[in-house]
Structure 1
Amino acid sequence: MKLRLRFYPRSIYGQMVMLVSLSMFITLSITSFLLFLFRPDIPPLPHGPWTNALAIETGIQALQAAPPENRARIAKNISNADITFVIGQPFLCREFPPNPITNSMKRILVLRLNLYERDIETKNCAPDTRGNPFTYISLPRDNISVRVYDHPPLHFHHIMRLTMPLTISLLSLLAIILPLTFWSIWHISRPLRNIAASADAFGYDISPAPIPIQGPTEVRRLTHAFNRMQARIAASVDERTRMLMAIGHDLRTPLTRLFMRLELGGEEASPEAMHHDLTLMKKMLNGALYFLKEQTEAERAENADLSSLLESLCLEYSAVGQNVTYTGPSHLTCICQATALERAVSNLIENGLKYGTHVDVHLHEEKNHAVIDVKDNGPGIPDTLQPSALLPFYRLDPARASDGGLGLGLSIADAIIARHHGHLSLSNIQPRGFQARIVLPLRLDRL
């Protein structure tokens, strides 16, 4: 089964080519068989200029061999609209000058019936009541007369005799191609119908199950892209919900303090204390607004020197008394959004300084990628909580809400790195410490 699927085309083009080729092969095989089966029943055309010479010859021989008393009945039975045999009663004929076809007919019959020239008469006659000219053939010795129309109309049996091979081929082609075509269209469009149904349902259910990935390569890629888009939209809605919940929860604490200060009065309602609470609320709102801005706005990518960017960032922290160092090459360029990338590394450095006393930023190149390691000497994050640490509005220590943090530092950094087609990973350092690793491609077609 797996071997058969391996040779089955994956693309729409490949599947259609395979189906059409297979249909044509089956059609040609059936047509060849039918032609071989029916061809012996089709009499060959006689030699000579007159297409009805064989029928005339056969009819005359049949009448000559029949008893005289049965000849009239046989003549009536073997006659048709094109050739009429009569015994004893000649046809009325207004004779025209003989033409080459009439003379050729006479020579053919003399030769095929072993007659002498005097034993057969042929005349070219004027049009009769039907409006068609005809040839009159007479064998006086046998009392046989034959009327043959020079241009006989085509009847159904003539048409079938001439077109039967083509008709069989066409009908076989339609009988094979149409079912296979309808089946192939249904088979290829079924995943597309599933995507359309899921897209319609997505307007009512924001978290539907992903669509099964099946069908040709193009449809599988479309399904995968739709599932990814669906997951991103669901995650975005979830982030907005968590953001509102986090802001509402965190703002409730300083607002409660403000109400209490106003009610208690005295030193608790001093301008300094109220200013502290208002500043904390402003910091929370600014963090949420910046997170939303990072998701909707993006700066233009340009060729930047990562070494200079990271070294300058570390020097800024060192200038204000923070123990932040840089190690790495003196020159390494990368196509990136410099301001956003600086923001992401800055968030990682601030996170390291919040829980540790020293942060080291190390840069190196690995397989056409820039690798940035931000290490600190803090307690680290438990392995089970590291995936959750990258979620927006997630705080490892809820008690730290009083410092105005919304748990957006790592999530903002992760969003920026993902926009650069990179990857952010977290890990602990033994025996103590924490590392955040950024892996960025050095060259991108577009960003």
Structure 2
Amino acid sequence: MSFRSRFVLLRRLFPQTLFGQMVAILATSLLLTLCVVILLLRALRPAIPPLPVGPWPDTLAIETAIRSLRSIPLSVRQQAAEGMSSAGIHFQLNKAFPCTPLPADHETELVHRILRHDFPGDAASMNVVKCETGDRVFTNIILPADNIHIAVISNFNLHDVIHMTLPITVPFLSLLVMTGALSVWSVWRVNRPLSILARKADTLGYDTTSPLLEEQGPREVRRVIRAFNRMQSRIRMAAEERTRMLMSIGHDLRTPLTRLSMRVELGGDDASPRAMRNDLTLMKQMLNGALTFLDGQREAEPFEVVELGSLLESLCEEFSSTGKQVAYEGVHETACFCQPVSISRAVNNLIENGLKYGKNVHVDAWPENDQIIIEVADSGPGIPDHMRLEMLQPFARMDRARSADGSLGLGLSIVQDVVARHQGSITLRDAAPRGLIVRLTLPAHAPHSRESGLR
């Protein structure tokens, strides 16, 4: 496995949420702290475990000497005391060391407490005092029961405390560093993509064509960035659609306006009220079509369960009652959760398009799994494969000359908008032997998000 493959694998294993990343870093930091403490204890551990803080080495030597002197016969005890004496500790019998008493300090009290504990029989009579002789300071220990006198040159050998405090200090320092690093990382990890998002939001009002933001940061932040990118895409599409609509309306209105201008200038039969009224009616149809399309994008019709077969059959009967060859061939008693007015409008547009370019239209509907299928077939010329996606866009027409009938090319785009609100899909395919079949696929039941929103 290559280094890049290992890196990608480790990146996938790393938690994606902010909570998971913080927990992972905290656990890793605690594990590293434990490893560092273990290494320090192993490196600084002495060959012989140290005694606790205090005058233990000197006190242990004094206790050993006292027990030894007590076990030696009196005839040779003085000679043994002189042999045990050293530069720091002097032993003698039956004679106190001359010195000037000084106030007791912590060392003196600590030695007195240790000796009283180890020699409980001498606790009442034992005396430990601080004194000086010339320029030297001594600690005199007197055991009256055996006339043992000990002079210890201060200071006592106090054991170094570094071996005791280091294992405790390192974890606290490690936790402090870990907490600080985790806090800094968390703030940076969250604030950096949010700061970029804030700057992008400031520029969105006057620049909707800038590139989309890269999805980075924890999963929660990436979801916010993804939603922002979708919003920017919708705003850009709305702006492009508005521009396309204005250009299409301006282009289509220019022809009847030019014709009206020429009729006024030339006069005669061309300027008859009937001819001018036809041009005005055509312009009115174009404007009404654009307004209807915009109103349809803003409508908030409630969703409800309807019997789709009866709805489509009644719609087809309205056309057939006027002499149009429109027939419904689908099943009845088909329940569908939809916006009935919007569905009627969408199917009505498909029927009108079919009658405009063909002689007859057939409407079919049936349930399939958890979906409702609606098909509208006509006998017209159809739409070439390479133009079908384009024809679903607003103001798109295969032939620009068709605007002479007041059409703005909004029929299929209105249908697609209705289907998108129902979370469905629309497909176009050829009919046999000729014509076009438009299939609408709608969910038969309420999606969870839609259902919760209605409640």
Regarding TM over 0.5, the answer is yes
Q: Does 1:144 align with 2:154?
A: no
Q: 2:238 aligns with which of 236, 239, 245?
A: 236
**Is the Cα–Cα contact under 8 Å of residues 375 and 436 in structure 1 kept in the other structure?**
yes
Q: 1:106 aligns with which of 96, 103, 115?
A: 115
Q: 1:15 aligns with which of 21, 26, 40?
A: 21
Normalising by structure 1, report the TM-score.
Answer: 0.79
Q: 2:127 aligns with which of 111, 122, 125?
A: 122
Q: Does 1:33 align with 2:39?
A: yes
The one-letter code sitting in structure 2 at the alignment partner of 1:217 is R
Query: How far is the alpha carbon of 1:32 from its aligned partner?
Result: 2.9
Partner of 1:44: 51
- Mapped to 1, the partners of 2:373 and 2:82 lie a distance apart of 107
Partner of 1:83: none
SS at match of 2:101: coil
What is the total number of aligned residue pairs between the two structures? 404
**Is the Cα–Cα contact under 8 Å of residues 246 and 406 in structure 1 kept in the other structure?**
yes
**Is the Cα–Cα contact under 8 Å of residues 140 and 150 in structure 2 kept in the other structure?**
no
Please give the per-residue CA displacement for 1:166-224, whole angstroms capped at 9, x wherever unaligned.
Answer: 21111122334533553455345444344333323323321122223344433333332
- Mapped to 1, the partners of 2:267 and 2:429 lie a distance apart of 49
Query: How far is the alpha carbon of 1:265 from its aligned partner?
Result: 2.1
Q: Does 1:91 align with 2:97?
A: no
Partner of 2:76: none
**Is the Cα–Cα contact under 8 Å of residues 88 and 143 in structure 1 kept in the other structure?**
no
Matched ranges for 1:39-438 at <5 A: 39-40=45-46, 43-45=50-52, 52=54, 54=56, 56-57=58-59, 70-71=87-88, 89-92=99-102, 105-108=114-117, 110=119, 117=122, 121-122=126-127, 137-138=141-142, 144=151, 163-183=165-185, 185-438=187-440
- Mapped to 2, the partners of 1:276 and 1:141 lie a distance apart of 138
The one-letter code sitting in structure 2 at the alignment partner of 1:303 is V
Q: Judging changes above 3 Å, is the alpha-carbon distance between structure 1 residues 59 and 103 closer, same or farther for their aligned structure 2 residues?
A: closer
- Mapped to 1, the partners of 2:179 and 2:103 lie a distance apart of 55
**Is the Cα–Cα contact under 8 Å of residues 91 and 136 in structure 1 kept in the other structure?**
no
- Mapped to 2, the partners of 1:13 and 1:181 lie a distance apart of 13
- Mapped to 2, the partners of 1:235 and 1:387 lie a distance apart of 16
Runs of at least 5 residues in structure 1 that lack an aligned partner in the other structure: 46-50, 75-86, 126-134, 150-154
- Mapped to 1, the partners of 2:182 and 2:122 lie a distance apart of 62
Query: How far is the alpha carbon of 1:141 from its aligned partner?
Result: 5.5
The one-letter code sitting in structure 1 at the alignment partner of 2:127 is T
**Is the Cα–Cα contact under 8 Å of residues 320 and 326 in structure 2 kept in the other structure?**
yes
Query: How far is the alpha carbon of 1:391 from its aligned partner?
Result: 1.0
- Mapped to 2, the partners of 1:21 and 1:366 lie a distance apart of 52
Runs (4+) off by over 6 Å: 61-69, 146-149
- Mapped to 2, the partners of 1:353 and 1:213 lie a distance apart of 48
Q: Judging changes above 3 Å, is the alpha-carbon distance between structure 1 residues 235 and 419 closer, same or farther for their aligned structure 2 residues?
A: same
**Is the Cα–Cα contact under 8 Å of residues 57 and 109 in structure 1 kept in the other structure?**
no
Please give the per-residue CA displacement for 1:245-266, whole angstroms capped at 9, x wherever unaligned.
Answer: 1111111111122222222222
Query: How far is the alpha carbon of 1:9 from its aligned partner?
Result: 2.3
- Mapped to 1, the partners of 2:84 and 2:140 lie a distance apart of 24
RMSD: 3.7
Query: How far is the alpha carbon of 1:376 from its aligned partner?
Result: 1.0
Q: Judging changes above 3 Å, is the alpha-carbon distance between structure 1 residues 429 and 91 closer, same or farther for their aligned structure 2 residues?
A: farther
The one-letter code sitting in structure 2 at the alignment partner of 1:122 is N
Partner of 1:132: none
Please give the per-residue CA displacement for 1:109-149, whole angstroms capped at 9, x wherever unaligned.
Answer: 659xxxx959x942599xxxxxxxxx974478555168999
- Mapped to 1, the partners of 2:84 and 2:266 lie a distance apart of 142
Q: Judging changes above 3 Å, is the alpha-carbon distance between structure 1 residues 264 and 146 closer, same or farther for their aligned structure 2 residues?
A: same
- Mapped to 1, the partners of 2:57 and 2:257 lie a distance apart of 113
Query: How far is the alpha carbon of 1:355 from its aligned partner?
Result: 1.1
**Is the Cα–Cα contact under 8 Å of residues 394 and 407 in structure 1 kept in the other structure?**
yes
Q: Judging changes above 3 Å, is the alpha-carbon distance between structure 1 residues 93 and 270 closer, same or farther for their aligned structure 2 residues?
A: closer
Query: How far is the alpha carbon of 1:442 from its aligned partner?
Result: 1.6
- Mapped to 2, the partners of 1:405 and 1:136 lie a distance apart of 120
- Mapped to 2, the partners of 1:65 and 1:270 lie a distance apart of 149
**Is the Cα–Cα contact under 8 Å of residues 129 and 141 in structure 2 kept in the other structure?**
no
**Is the Cα–Cα contact under 8 Å of residues 90 and 145 in structure 1 kept in the other structure?**
no
Query: How far is the alpha carbon of 1:332 from its aligned partner?
Result: 1.3
The one-letter code sitting in structure 2 at the alignment partner of 1:35 is L
SS at match of 1:440: strand
Partner of 2:78: none
Normalising by structure 2, report the TM-score.
Answer: 0.77
Runs of at least 5 residues in structure 2 that lack an aligned partner in the other structure: 66-80, 91-96, 131-138
SS at match of 1:415: helix
**Is the Cα–Cα contact under 8 Å of residues 93 and 136 in structure 1 kept in the other structure?**
no
Q: Judging changes above 3 Å, is the alpha-carbon distance between structure 1 residues 69 and 43 closer, same or farther for their aligned structure 2 residues?
A: closer
**Is the Cα–Cα contact under 8 Å of residues 212 and 229 in structure 2 kept in the other structure?**
yes
**Is the Cα–Cα contact under 8 Å of residues 359 and 374 in structure 1 kept in the other structure?**
yes
Q: Higher mean Cα deviation, 331-340 or 29-38?
A: 29-38
- Mapped to 2, the partners of 1:122 and 1:102 lie a distance apart of 11
**Is the Cα–Cα contact under 8 Å of residues 136 and 148 in structure 1 kept in the other structure?**
no
SS at match of 1:424: strand
Q: Judging changes above 3 Å, is the alpha-carbon distance between structure 1 residues 257 and 184 closer, same or farther for their aligned structure 2 residues?
A: same
